[in-house]
Amino acid sequence: MLNQSPYLSLIICVHNDWEPLENCLKSLSRQQEAPSFEVIVVDDGSACHAPDAIKRGTFAYPIRFVRQSHSGLAVARNTGIQIAVGTVLLFTDCDCILNERCLYELGQSVAQHPQDNCFQLWLSGDSSHVVGRVEELHMSTIRTHLLLPSGHIRYLNTAGAAVRRSRIAKNTQVFEPCAFRAQDTLLLADFILAGEFPRFVPRAAVLHDVRLPIAKYIWKGFWTGYAEGKTYGLINALGVSVRASWSGRFRMLLSMRRECASRSFGVSPLLIVAIRQGLAYLGSILYAWRNPHAHDLPLRAGLGKAEG
């Protein structure tokens, strides 16, 4: 038994985010009826090494720390994939807190749906503060509009997403290194191109506990839109549509308005979403202006052929 490989490999990438990581790791210690799992923490060139409280902490599960020079989130995740030994690769962020039965529910879904290779967990925000309510509003709207009748979802967010290792071809970079943002959306495009969608796992809950000041959170939207420009160029080269239409976005906005009223969120979350999305759009325009040939980006190999 001691020599058996774990069923799940959790890959968490860190860049100077040690404080929220500690809460994430503690949530993993509270898992109930979870299948066997290991945790791989990839330090993407943080200014300081992992604190002793984390590095030398006693955990009820195997944990490995890997440090690399600062190369970006995509490279860090690929590094984690290379050393992971689990049958299923689970990606989450250091500012995420997993529900006590999250891993159990994921394991159940993977076993019950052998035809599915990718799984999207239930993501939520902390409604006790404004930015958390914005995240909750965003995630709830996505579930409402992108969930398919089949139980799949046209969405992938690596704050809580899993992939069968058998679906990944050997020597393949799952996450595109040149994509600085929206690497998970590019991965979604690869799956869609192969005729697959992520299976939604509603009982595997993950709290995405974003704790940014409101001004920084809003302004981050601009740079997010700019950084995603290259990624969406790659997605366009694949000929896959992953973005909602303008009419779809308008329907989402109306849905957010209704939810704000029904959950007594007030108007602040809706205003923040509108401003942040507007800044993201401006960022994408700036990227297109500075990179007029972005639509000429070459096709990529994607996931390749599955093993077996």
Per the domain annotation, does 304 fall within a domain? no
- Give the three-state DSSP class for 6: coil
CB-CB neighbours of 73 under 10 Å: 20
**pLDDT by position in tens, the chain (length 308):** 345 789 999 999 999 989 999 999 999 999 999 999 999 999 999 998 888 888 777 788 999 999 999 999 999 999 999 999 999 999 999 999 999 999 999 999 999 999 999 999 999 999 999 999 999 999 999 999 999 999 999 999 999 999 999 999 877 889 999 888 999 999 999 999 999 999 999 999 999 999 999 999 999 999 999 999 989 988 988 888 888 888 888 899 999 999 999 999 999 999 999 999 999 999 999 998 998 876 666 666 667 655 54
In the sheet that 88-93 helps form, which strands lie side by side, from edge to edge? 63-68, 37-44, 8-14, 88-93, 160-164, 118-124, 199-208, 96-98
Reduced to 3 states, what is the DSSP secondary structure of residue 210? coil
Query: Tell me, what amino acid is at 237?
Result: A
Q: Does the residue 301 lie in any domain?
A: no
- Give the single-character DSSP code of 153: B
Residue 102, judged by CB atoms within 10 A of its CB (0-12, 13-18, 19+), counts as buried
153 strand-pairing partners:
147
Evaluate whether residue 80 is within a structural domain: yes
- 171 within some domain: yes
Q: What total number of domains does the chain contain?
A: 1
Q: Flag whether 302 is in a domain.
A: no
Residue 50 belongs to a domain:
yes
Residue 2 lies in a domain: no
Residue 1, Cβ density class (10 Å: 0-12 exposed, 13-18 middle, ≥19 buried): exposed
Q: What is the CATH number of the domain that holds 58?
A: 3.90.550.10
> Residue 189 falls within a domain, yes or no?
yes
- Domain encompassing residue 95: 8-296
